[in-house]
Amino acid sequence: MNKYIVVWVATLLPWLAFSQEKVEGMVVDSGASNEPGLPGANVYWMDSQIGVVTDIDGKFSIPYKKEYNKLIVSYVGYESDTLTVNAPKTLRLRLKASNTLDEVVVQQQRDDIQKAYFSPQNVVTVNSAELLKAACCNLAESFETNPAIDVNLSDGLTGTKQIQMLGLTSPYLLITQENIPMVRGASQAYGLTFTPGTWIESIQITKGAGSVVNGYESISGQINTELVKPLTDNALFVNGYGNENGRYELNTHFNKKLNEKWSTGLYIHGNKRTQKEDDNGDGFLDAPLADQINVMNRWQYQDPEKGWVSFFNVRFLNDGKQVGQVDFNPGTNKFTTHAWGSEINTRRFDTSLKLGYVFPELPFQSFGFQTAYSLHKQDSYFGFRTYDINHESIYTNLLFNSIIGDTRNKFKTGLSFAYDGYDELVNTADYSREDRSVGAFMEYSYENLEKVSLTAGLRVDNHNRLGTFVTPRFHIRYTPWGQGSLRGSFGRGKRAANIFAENQQLFASSRQINILNEGGEVYGLEPEDAWNYGVSFLQGFNFLNRKGDIALDYYITDFKNQVVVDWENPQEVSFYNLDGDSKAKSFQVEVNYELLTGLDFRTAYKYYDVSTDYKSGRLQKPLQAQHRLFANLGYKTKMKENGSQWKFDYTLHSMGEKRLPNTASNPVAYQLAAYSSPYNHMNAQITKVFSNAFEVYVGAENLSNVQQDNPVLGADDPFGPNFDTTIIYAPIMGRMFYGGFRVKI
C-alpha cells in the first residue's frame, strides 16, 4: 500500500512542481471610452520563449516564471508597453493607439517554392554552359556530354542522330518543348534536328516514369527543353559555325523589351551543306546535302503585380535533305535506275500559347493553360519508294496547382485534350488516320524538406484507338544520411506506334515491309503498353577537400505489348505484336569529381540488357552496345573581370560490341559478322572567351578516326535485292574539324 502512495506522490510531484503559476489579464484599448478588449495582441516575456496572443475578448493567460519579470504587450497600431511583473497576478493592460505600423508587412515573394534538390524524380538538368561543350548544332547533338542519353546514328544516309534512354529509342521518350509534346508522330525521325542548339536554354532529363501532367505516352523517360526567353536572352546574339565537310550554320537572335510587361524575340536559324563528301569511296554521300531555314518569334508577357505570365510562339521551318549516290541529280535521275537518290523535304508550322496565373496573395496556388497547334508535312522518296506524311496536331492542357494544408502537401490537377490527324502515304498504300484523346490527371506531392518526399500521379484517358485507360506513376525519395539520396519509381506508359515515321530508315533499303497482324487499331497492330520500374542512389562526397558525387541506377522497362520491329531477315522488315517477353534493363554508374580547381571529371559505365522475343527467338536488341564507357574532362581557366576565359573539353565514348541483324541468308559478299567490333569515339573542343561579348571555338569530332567501312550494304547495286543502309554501328564520317564564334550584346 505504502508503495502505491509513494508512486502516486512521485507521479504527482512533477505535476505539482510545474502546475503553472500564471499571469492573467486583459489587454484593452485605452483610447476608447469603454475600453474594449483588444483581441490578437501579443503578450510575451522579454528574452524568453514564452508568448501568447489575446483571445477574442482581449483576455490572456501567460505562464509565470521567476526568471522573467518584464512583460511586453504589443499590438499592431498601438504603442508597445513593458511592465515589470514580479509575481503571478491579474492585470489590466491599457494600450495607446499609435500611428506607426509595425510587424505586419505584406511582401511579394515568388521564388523558393521549388526545391529541386529534394525532388523525388531522377532529374538531370543540362544547363547552357554544359550545352556549349559540344558546339554543334541542334537538340539531337546536345547530349554528347551527358551519360544519361545515348546517341546513335539512325541510318547510313541522313547522318541523323537518334537518341536512346535506358536502352530504348526516342519514340519511347516524351520529348517536350516547354512542357508541350514536341517530337512525336511524323516528326519522330528528324524532329530533334529541328531545334537549333542556340535556342536551348536548358534541358531537363527525367529517367524512368515521369510525371502524368504532360500525358501518358512516355515509357522510359522524359526530356524537356526550355528555350531562351525574350526577357532574359541577349539583345543580339550571332553564332556562326563551319566544318571542313562543308556544313555551315548561322544563328541570330534579336530580343527586345518593349515595356515593363511585354518582350519579344526573333530567332533565325539557317544551315546549309552543298559540298559533296564521300570519304569511304562507296559512291554514296557520307552526309546529306542539306538546307534548313528555321524562324521563330516569341512574345513574353509578365505582370508580377497581378500574377500573369504568358508566352506566345510562332515558328516556321523548311528543311530539305538530299542523300544517295554522289552523282545523283534529282532533276534528271529521280525515279530512274541511273542513280539511287533520295530527297526528304519537310515544312512545319508551330504555334503555341501559354498562360500562367499565380494568385498574388497565395504564391503556392496557380493556374496554367497551354495550347499548341502544329502542321508537319514531309514529302520524300527513297529510290523508287515514296513516303509522304502530313501530321496535324492540337494539344491543350489546363492545370491547377495548390496545396493541402501547407506547402509540404501539394497537388496538381487538370485536363488535357489532344488531336492528331495523319495523312500518310507509303508508296500507294494510304494509312491515314485520326486520333483523339481526352484525359484528366491528378498529381500529389509530399515534401517535408527532410527525409522523405514523394510524388504520386494518376491520369485517366479516353482515346479513340487506345481505349479508356489509367496511367499511374509514382516516385519516392529517401535521404538515409547526409548527401545521400535514394530514389524509387514506377509507372505506366501507353502509345500508338507510328511504325513508318519512327523507322524511316527502312525505306532506304530493298527490304520488303510486312505488317503481320490485322484488326488492331493502329496499322492493324495493338497499342504499345509498358511498365517502368527503377531505383537509383546518389551520394555526394568530399575527397581531398574537393566535391564529387557518385550515382547508381537500375531500371527495367517491361512491355505488356510492343510493336516489334524485326530486322532479322535481310530481305524484310516485319512489324508484329509482341508474343512473349520484352524487357529493357539498364544499369549505370556515374562519378563526378573535381580533380583540380577548374578541372572537372565525369565518367560513367553503362550496361544494357534489352531482349525481345522475336519470331525467331529471344534476341538482344540489334545495334545496341551492351557495355558502354563514357568519360568527360572539362577545364576552365579562372574568369577575368571582363569575362575572358579559356575552356577545354574532351569526351570519350567507348562502345562495346553490338549485335548485328542477321544477314546469314545474304550472298557471302553481303554478309556481316554476328557482332561489330568495339571502338572508341572521341571529341574535343577549345573555347576562347575574349569578353562577355565575343568568343570563338574550335573542335574536332571523331579524333580517333574510326569509321564503318560499309555503311551501305550492296552499294555496288542499289537497285538490287541486297541494298541496305540501315545497319549502322560506327561513325560514317572520319575525323572532322570545326570552328565557330559567338557574339552577344
Binding site for another protein (CB under 8 A): 32-34, 36, 39-40, 42-44, 47-53, 56, 72, 74, 103-107, 109, 112-113, 361-364, 403, 405-408, 448-450
Q: State how far the Cα of 303 lies from the Cα of 496, in Å rounded to an integer.
A: 40
Q: Between 39 and 472, whose beta carbon lies closer to another protein?
A: 39
Q: How far is the CB of 359 from another protein (least distance, A)?
A: 9
514 contacts 573 by C-beta, under 8 angstroms: yes
Q: Between 462 and 483, whose beta carbon lies closer to another protein?
A: 483
Q: State how far the Cα of 223 lies from the Cα of 207, in Å rounded to an integer.
A: 9
Ramachandran angles phi, psi of 730, nearest 5°: -150, 170
Q: State how far the Cα of 288 lies from the Cα of 342, in Å rounded to an integer.
A: 10
Tell me the HSE value of 550 on the side-chain side, using a 13 A CA sphere: 5
Closest CA to 658 of 590, 708, 589: 708
SS3 160: coil
Q: How far is the CB of 212 from another protein (least distance, A)?
A: 25
| E runs forming strands in 383-448 | 385-404, 406-426, 429-430, 433-447
Q: How far is the CB of 79 from another protein (least distance, A)?
A: 15
Three-class SS of 54-89: CCCCCEEEEEECCCCCEEEEECCCECCEEEECCCCC
Q: State how far the Cα of 375 lies from the Cα of 421, in Å rounded to an integer.
A: 9
Q: How far is the CB of 62 from another protein (least distance, A)?
A: 10
Q: Between 355 and 403, whose beta carbon lies closer to another protein?
A: 403
232 contacts 200 by C-beta, under 8 angstroms: no
Q: Between 275 and 479, whose beta carbon lies closer to another protein?
A: 479
Q: Between 60 and 199, whose beta carbon lies closer to another protein?
A: 60
Q: Between 105 and 544, whose beta carbon lies closer to another protein?
A: 105
Tell me the HSE value of 85 on the side-chain side, using a 13 A CA sphere: 28
Q: How far is the CB of 55 from another protein (least distance, A)?
A: 10
Give the helix/strand (H/E) hosting 11. helix 2-18
Give the helix/strand (H/E) hosting 28. strand 21-29
636 contacts 598 by C-beta, under 8 angstroms: yes
Q: How far is the CB of 738 from another protein (least distance, A)?
A: 38
Cis peptide before 137 (omega within 30 of 0): yes
Q: State how far the Cα of 257 lies from the Cα of 387, in Å rounded to an integer.
A: 44
Q: How far is the CB of 117 from another protein (least distance, A)?
A: 10
Q: Between 103 and 430, whose beta carbon lies closer to another protein?
A: 103
Q: How far is the CB of 45 from another protein (least distance, A)?
A: 8
Q: How far is the CB of 364 from another protein (least distance, A)?
A: 5
492 contacts 473 by C-beta, under 8 angstroms: yes
Q: Between 361 and 641, whose beta carbon lies closer to another protein?
A: 361
Q: Between 74 and 169, whose beta carbon lies closer to another protein?
A: 74
